[in-house]
Structures are given as C-alpha cells and as structure tokens.
Chains A and B, each alone.
Chain A
Amino acid sequence: MALTIGGLAWFVATTAGAAPDPARGEYVFHMSGCASCHTAEGGAFLAGGRRLMTPFGAFLVPNITPDRATGIGGWSEADLVRAMTEGVSPTGGHYYPSFPYTSYTRMRRSDIADLKAYLDTVPAVRNAVGPHEMGFPFSVRLGNFFWKLLFFSPGEFVPDPAHDDEWNRGAYLVNGPGHCGECHTPRNILGGLDRDRALAGATLPEGDGGKVPSLRGLDWSVEDFVWAFETGLLPDGDALGSSMADVITENTSKLTAGDRRAIAVYLKSLPKPAAD
C-alpha cells in the first residue's frame, strides 16, 4: 500500500512541469481510451472511419493519425488542448459531444501535451473520413454551441482535499481521461449527461442501446474492481464483453497496478444514488 502511494507520488511528481514526452503520452493514451473509437474494426490504427450509430444520426469517427491531409498532422499542441477541453476544432467549429470533451476537459493540460507528443509518433495514415450523417435539426453544427451552454461545464479536475491522493487519482482517471460517465451516466433527451446520477447506469448511447450497469454502490471489494480491470473477470466468474471488452484489453489492463487500484478505491467509495 505504502509502495503504491509512493509510486503514485513519484508518477505525479515526474509528470508535472516536464517537457511533453511521448512515452508518458502513450500511457495517457491508454488512460483515455482513444483507440476504442478512433480505430475502426479491421482498420488502420487511429485512422478513423468507424460509424457510431446513435439516435441522433451516424457519427463518423475522424482520423487522428499525423497525416496532414486527412488526419491531425497539422495540429499544434494548443489545437489538441482546445479540442479536448473546449470541444472546439482548430477552425473554430463546435464538436458534437460524441467526442467526449465533456470528460476530457477535466484532464491535466500536461497529460494532453504528453498525449500530443505520443500521437505525433504513430504512423500517418491517409484515410479521408466523410462528414457525420445527421438528420435535421441535429445536422446544424451551430446547435452544439447552444448544447454546450446547457450541458457542458469546462474545467480541469480539482482534487477534493477531503480525500487522499489515491482517491483523487481515481476520481481524475474515471471522470477525466477514462470518460467512464460517457456510457455509465444516463443522458437526457438532448444527450446531456445527468450529473445527479453520475455513473448510476444508463442505456448505451451507441449501437443497439444495450444496458450499461451502474458503478455506484456495488457490492464489490476493491480487489474485485482491480481484478475486473486487469482480467475482465467479474466477481461471479462471468466475463465482461460488448464495448467494455476493449476498455479492459486496451485501457485498464495497460494501466499501472497503482492506477487500477486508485480507480477501484474511488468507485468503491461511491454510494448508491438516492432512489427515484
């Protein structure tokens, strides 16, 4: 335990105020689950093209390889920070919240800088992805501006001094880069997240609308959470699947044991939401 906290303190200390580093950025990449959407099934790494089918229309996930013509090779670090924390493109367009900037806005700016350094190192792939296929009125991109006024609260994660570093690290990973709430928190009719019922279970916003379980008030030990993040196996011996399969294999299993534990400690602390 002391070792875990020590490791965590070391990790935090070494990531603060240093020059952007692609190796750390690769770790941030695993924290952030970018590949789940930006790599299409059978497609080139991060070259986009996956279709996210939602009640609002089909979102075509963009290419985020460093290809200058069809990817984000022309972006500066500030462009990526702005996209991820404000939901605004380099040309000033407002992104649809299918891109989870609503969560990424909580990320440390140094983490995003590291992520940019890593993304610059992946192979550039020329793959032009077409525009989203949205019906009216959702096709009007300016609507995202108003959507943000209603449902977007920008701002970096602020640690809660009432809790220790481990809990705060978990809260950061879950609510920032991990963007767990984008699927586990219910949405209102306009797709805004119902923050009062954060992580209380929802309907999958994409695909066939499967049920996403609550992460609050689970009768799981910290070890049960850690085990599930590491192996995909649940306390009853069943295994995760669906969209959570990639989260396990591409994200949580690639985190440090300390980070898995921090997420577990944070989730374990969340009470059941008040009955409604």
Chain B
Amino acid sequence: MRISFNRRAGFIAACTALAFGLGAVGAIAQDVVQQRKDLMKSYGAAMKVIGDAVKAGGTLDAAAIADKAAIVRNNATKIVALFPAGSTSAGALPAIWEKPDEFKDWAMKLGTAAAALDQAARDNKLGDGKALVGAVGGTCVGCHKVFQKPAS
C-alpha cells in the first residue's frame, strides 16, 4: 500500500514536472520567436536610419552611420541561435532548419557587410554610401529569399 502510494505520488509528481516542463519549453519557444522578431526589427531600425541618410544625399553623418552599422555588425550572427529546432513560426520557412549551414552563412555575410560599412564610416570613406549599404541590403534580401515565408 505504502509502496503503491509512493508510486502514485511519484507518478503524479512526474506528470506535474512534465507538465511544467512542457509549459516551460513552450514558453521558451514563444520567447525565442519574440526575441528573433525583436532582433530582426533592430536590424531594420538601424537600416532605416542608414537608408534615410543615404537617400537624403549630401554629406553623410559618418558617426551616426557607424553607430547603426555597429548594431547590425555586433548582432548579425546572434540570429542563428534564435531558431532552435522546433521553434516554427509564421514567417519562417522550414529551410531554416533544413539548411542550417546556409542560414548561418547568410548571418555571417550580414556581419561582414555591416562591418565593412562600419569601418568605412569610421575611416570617413563612405562616399555616397550606396554600394556599402547596398551590400548589407543584399544579404538581407538574399537570406529572405531562401528563408522567409512571404505574407499570405
């Protein structure tokens, strides 16, 4: 009887732990989706400031551009860890989990392009900025093409 009770208690305890565990995993998955959305938005916000400056023409504020380019440079590869197995979401194509090396490669290309922009800005060698910013944009577009699900 005593043994059986302990078994039952153990079973309930295990179920409880499992339930909390699943809940925690679910919460983490939700959390990671929000985190990657926020990270993507931070790239976008930086690119908007840079894009607006280049579109306006004239003398570019190199310090401001370096500041924003550094945000993208420093955070570019952080995106990879925010797509753990099973963390599907509406905007992500399965290719992210099927071709992880290519996904990582794009993240590194983003970092490289952003670093080149950052360096040019700090060296005051931006020119009109179009080619350097275009190279960053090219990595965004290239990665979106393969891994981002279009709105439906």
Q: Considering only CB atoms, which chain B residue lies closest to A247 in the complex?
A: B141
Say which residue of A221, A230, A235 sits within 8 Å of B134 (CB atoms).
A230
Say which residue of B45, B55, B130, B138 sits within 8 Å of A232 (CB atoms).
B138
Taking CB atoms, residues of chain B closer than 8 Å to A218 are none
Complex: how many Å from CA A249 to CA B139? Answer: 10
Cβ of B152 and Cβ of A237 under 8 Å apart? no
Size class of the A contact interface (CB-based, 8 Å)? 20 to 34
Complex: how many Å from CA A235 to CA B54? Answer: 12
Taking CB atoms, residues of chain B closer than 8 Å to A210 are 149-152
Q: Mark B35-65, 1 if CB is under 8 A from A, else 0.
A: 0000000011111110100111000000000
* Max chain A Cβ within 10 angstroms of own Cβ: one of B46, B49, B141: B141
Chain B interface residue count, Cβ-Cβ cutoff 8 angstroms: 28
* Max chain A Cβ within 10 angstroms of own Cβ: one of B44, B48, B137, B142: B137
Known contacts: A236-B44, A241-B148. The answer to whether A253 contacts B134 by CB under 8 A is yes
Complex: how many Å from CA A36 to CA B69? Answer: 31
Instruction: Say if the beta carbon of A223 comes within 8 Å of chain B.
Output: yes
* A273 shortest CB reach to chain B, Å: 20
* Max chain A Cβ within 10 angstroms of own Cβ: one of B134, B142, B150, B152: B150
* B136 shortest CB reach to chain A, Å: 8
Cβ of A237 and Cβ of B47 under 8 Å apart? yes
Known contacts: A210-B150, A211-B150, A211-B152. The answer to whether A237 contacts B48 by CB under 8 A is yes
Cβ of B47 and Cβ of A242 under 8 Å apart? no
Taking CB atoms, residues of chain A closer than 8 Å to B130 are 230-231
Instruction: Say if the beta carbon of A145 comes within 8 Å of chain B.
Output: no
Cβ of B51 and Cβ of A237 under 8 Å apart? yes
6 smallest CB-CB distances across A and B, nearest first, come from A241-B144, A237-B48, A239-B140, A245-B145, A231-B137, A210-B150
A selection of 12 A-B contacts at a CB cut-off of 8 Å is: A210-B151, A230-B134, A232-B137, A237-B48, A239-B44, A240-B141, A240-B144, A241-B145, A241-B150, A245-B145, A246-B145, A249-B142
